[in-house]
Amino acid sequence: MSKRVSGIRASAKVVLLGLLLLALVAPVVSQAKEIKLRYSLLWPASHPITKLAQEWAKDVEAATAGRVKVTTFPGNTLTPPMQAYDAVVKGIADMAANLLAYAPGRLPLSEVLQQPLGYLSGYQASKLANAYYKKFKPAEFNDVQVMYLHGAAPGFIMTKKAVNSIKEVKGLRIKANAENADIVVNLGASPVTMPVSDTYDSLQRGVIDGTLFPLEALQGYKIGEVVKTVIQDYGISYMTSMYVIMNKGKWNSIAPEDQKAIEALNEVYNEKQAKLWSELDNSAKTWATQKGVKFLDVSKEDQAATVALMKPILDKYVAMTKAKGLPGDEALKFCLDFIRDNP
């Protein structure tokens, strides 16, 4: 064999070895590529939930050694609230935290979470929301990657005038969102739909007689300054359910080990979020009490009567889901059992 041929073969081996090494290194380089996420938040920059989300973002960066970086956009500055879910699906935002109710008709099975199920606290509600998602993995969320679900509860009626019974709500004009207006109707009152931002002034001017809100709103939206009574009737207690979601393509671009790190953090933050809701509720209750708000505990008899009035709402939910081929009866039973077993 000539020296020239041997040299060519040696050079070829070096080239092949180089190509092999490049093939082995390329996936590592690819995985190390920095992923930047734009995270749309419903709450203003000063809100404790925004601060918790920003804490999550910092922990994600640390857990992924800087490979995943998150920039938060509080106060709907990246996406309008009613478009947040769709914006994530389309990649206009990489992530969003917002209300399930702001994606109307899109998440029918998950509407179980906002029914008057008798929630006792925001902690319980948030743990249930996450447990529900893990149990049913509803296909309606398939176009996004769910980080976790959570929610504000208990939701009660708050009145501008002092009242002594849930029965006195009959005939009043009560601010309610479309998804829980039936609660107001079934109590014999008139639901009035308006943005949360208009509620304070509308109560103050007498445009409405009361509102249906979770306790946190007493302080968060200063509703405690313009109401006299919070009717603590757990027969109507509902959750304002919320999601934290990521664009599916963006999630799939994250390395598997970093996905696992984020999923582990999500478990930690669902717990933190659940605790935060209860802290916010307790703070709001103390704050409102100092403003002179009365917290009315209804009698067992009145609460039982309210539960009976709410049953048609639950039946309506089950009928709606069955018409869509969804297991609404199973979802409802799961949620009621969870609330009973996890007070």
Over the stretch 246-281, which tens digit does the pLDDT of each residue have? 999 999 999 999 999 999 999 999 999 999 999 999
Sign of the dihedral through C-alpha 338, 234, 243, 61: negative
pLDDT tens per residue, range 273-304: 999 999 999 999 999 999 999 999 999 999 99
pLDDT at 12: 45
Q: Does residue 323 lie in a domain region?
A: yes
Who contacts 171 (Cβ-Cβ below 8 Å, separation ≥6)? 188, 189, 190
pLDDT of 196 strictly over 90: no
Alpha helices in 191-255 (DSSP H): 196-205, 217-220, 248-252
Half-sphere exposure of 6 (CA within 13 A, CB side): 3
Q: How many Cβ atoms are within 10 Å of 22's Cβ, its own excluded?
A: 10
Q: Does residue 62 lie in a domain region?
A: no
Q: Does residue 104 lie in a domain region?
A: no
pLDDT at 32: 57
What average pLDDT does the segment 143-162 reach? 97
Q: Does residue 137 lie in a domain region?
A: no
Who contacts 269 (Cβ-Cβ below 8 Å, separation ≥6)? 52, 56, 59, 147, 148
pLDDT at 22: 46
Six token digits for residue 316: 């309506």
Distance, in Å, from the CA atom of 227 to the CA atom of 210, rounded to the nearest integer, reads 7
Q: Does residue 229 lie in a domain region?
A: yes
Confidence of residue 204 (pLDDT cuts 50, 70, 90): very high
* Percent of the chain predicted with pLDDT > 70: 91
Q: Does residue 95 lie in a domain region?
A: no
What average pLDDT does the segment 88-111 reach? 97
Find the CATH number of the domain harbouring 334. 3.40.190.170
Half-sphere exposure of 50 (CA within 13 A, CB side): 16
Average pLDDT over the chain reads: 92
Half-sphere exposure of 121 (CA within 13 A, CB side): 17
What average pLDDT does the segment 234-250 reach? 97
pLDDT at 108: 98
Cis, peptide link before residue 154, omega less than 30° from 0: yes
For 174, the domain range is 155-238+286-341
Distance, in Å, from the CA atom of 37 to the CA atom of 247, rounded to the nearest integer, reads 9
pLDDT of 20 strictly over 70: no
pLDDT at 327: 98
Q: Does residue 244 lie in a domain region?
A: no
What average pLDDT does the segment 67-94 reach? 97
Q: For the ranges 15-19, 52-56, 320-324, which has the lowest average pLDDT?
A: 15-19
What average pLDDT does the segment 229-243 reach? 97
pLDDT at 299: 93
What average pLDDT does the segment 20-24 reach? 48
pLDDT at 28: 45
| Total domains in the fold of the chain | 1
Task: List, in sequence order, every beta strand (DSSP E) within the chain.
Answer: 35-41, 68-73, 95-99, 144-152, 155-159, 173-175, 190-192, 210-214, 229-232, 240-247, 294-297
pLDDT at 110: 98
pLDDT at 33: 82
Q: Does residue 132 lie in a domain region?
A: no
